[in-house]
Amino acid sequence: MKARLPQGYGGGGAANLQQLARQAQKMQEQMAALTAELDEKEYTATAGGDAVKATVTGKMEVKSVEIGPEVIDPEDAEMLGDLVTAAVNAALREAAQERETRMSAISGGMGLPGMF
């Protein structure tokens, strides 16, 4: 005895597969375009009441670090290092968060490994 599928199910398997492949291709193109856009974007964060300002790119590279003269104290280089670290890390977190949020919007929240 053969099992029968309800009307509207079955058949068209190849067509459904082609449609799925087209959707995957479109999503891949959208993600590539978004990646290119985000790679060019810059993110800036500050620390120490704007005494240190760090700018990073969407490629997660440090573009610049600006240090206000008021925090340059030869006796406390450790504090300056901490402020630079804090500003850079805040800018990198901002870039990573935007990338994750915008990529998830394209992928529909699917956890696609290796995509970002």
CATH assignment of 30-107, among 3.30.70.2190, 3.50.50.60, 3.30.420.40, 3.30.1310.10: 3.30.1310.10
> Closest by alpha carbon to 103, among 90, 93, 113, 88?
113
Burial bucket for residue 83 (CB in 10 Å: 0-12, 13-18, 19+): buried
For 12-69, what is each residue's pLDDT tens digit? 567 788 888 898 899 999 999 999 999 999 999 999 999 999 999 999 999 999 999 9
What's the predicted TM-score (pTM) here?
0.71
Helix (H, G, I), strand (E, B) or coil at 52: strand
For 58-102, what is each residue's pLDDT tens digit? 999 999 999 999 999 999 999 999 999 999 999 999 999 999 999
Task: List the domain boundaries for the chain.
Answer: 30-107
